[in-house]
Structure 1
Amino acid sequence: MKERWLPVGLIAGGLFLVNVIARLVVRFGAGSDDDKQITIGLWALVAVGAVMIPVAFWYARRHPMIRVVGDLGIAVVVACLLAVLVGPFVSGVSPLSNGVGLVFRQFFYFVGLSAIGAVLGLLGLMTMGLDYKSQSWKRYIERTDSKPRRVVKR
């Protein structure tokens, strides 16, 4: 159980940490300048997508694709819920202070950019032929191409 869910929890925690760092930068660095706040927020979302590229690359090398999609999907949704519902407290506001519409937009932006990053990581992995399925096919071909030992008759 620990081997399955510990990496998922670490990924979710890492994505949430990126969001918390961005919120702290906004709180202490941007002040009340809306343009700076929006710029930092967008860079934070890009950073979340960028974090997902190597994470998906690493995770898909070791596991079948259905497990990768499920585990990374759960990690992203958990991190997103933490970022949307707990993250605003880091900024000094309540989660629903700006309305429910903002919460839904944050959720979809976070999930969308995470998915884009994960897809880019998976496509890079598949392009190099290092994913789980390609490696399985490679082992199968190597096993079937080897000829059995010939029996010598005397």
Structure 2
Amino acid sequence: MKQRWVSIAVLAAALFAINVVARLVTRLGFPDNETAENRVSIVMFAVIGLVLAVIAFRRAQRVPVGTWLPELVAAAVGGMLLTVLVGPFVSGDYPFSGGAGNFFSQIWLYGGFAIVGTLLGYWTATALGRDYRSKSLKAFTIAKTTKPRRVVRR
């Protein structure tokens, strides 16, 4: 059980680190350039979605969805909370300094990219027949079709 929380915390920290890097790039490389800030934010959300897609793809191959999905959701929510509540301090702002609209748009964007990334990773594994369920069904089919016929004694 402790192992699960450690992996959740590590993934949440990694997602937050992506945000910190994006904020530092914006703060140091493009000060007072709102267009560049918006582009870096979109790239950051896309990278977060890509990371979650890769993790979903890899985890879907090894364990059932019911095991890895809650962990991935918890890590994504943790990363999102760190991003919207702690992340602005990296930029020298406060969580609501851009207004409530900016705050909630970050939540919607983060949630949208996280959901789409996770779904793309899982759907890719499923489409390729590499997810846990497909592998289990294939093994079952092979076991049933290769079983020798029972000899009936009289």
Q: Give 1:91's aligned amino acid.
A: S
- The equivalent of 1:59 in structure 2 is 59
Q: Give 2:84's aligned amino acid.
A: V
Report the alpha carbon displacement of residue 68 of structure 1 after superposing the two structures with TM.
Answer: 2.8
- The equivalent of 2:142 in structure 1 is 142
- 1:40-94 Cα distance to aligned partner (Å, 9 max, x none): 1111111111111211101111221123322211111110000000000111111
Residue 7 of structure 2 corresponds to residue 7 of structure 1: yes
Aligned residues between the structures:
153
Structure 1: how far apart are the matches of 2:45 and 2:52?
11
| Structure 2 spans left out of the alignment, 5+ residues | none
Tell me how large the CA RMSD over aligned residues is: 1.8
- Within-5 A mapping of 1:67-86: 67-86=67-86
Moved more, 85-94 or 66-75: 66-75
- Within-5 A mapping of 1:101-140: 101-140=101-140
Moved more, 92-101 or 17-26: 92-101
- 1:65-124 Cα distance to aligned partner (Å, 9 max, x none): 123322211111110000000000111111111222211110110011111111111111
Q: When the two structures are superposed, what TM-score results if normalisation uses the length of structure 1? A: 0.91
Moved more, 9-18 or 112-121: 9-18
Q: Secondary structure at the match of 2:139?
A: helix
| Structure 1 spans left out of the alignment, 5+ residues | none
Q: When the two structures are superposed, what TM-score results if normalisation uses the length of structure 2? A: 0.91
- The equivalent of 1:23 in structure 2 is 23
- The equivalent of 2:43 in structure 1 is 43
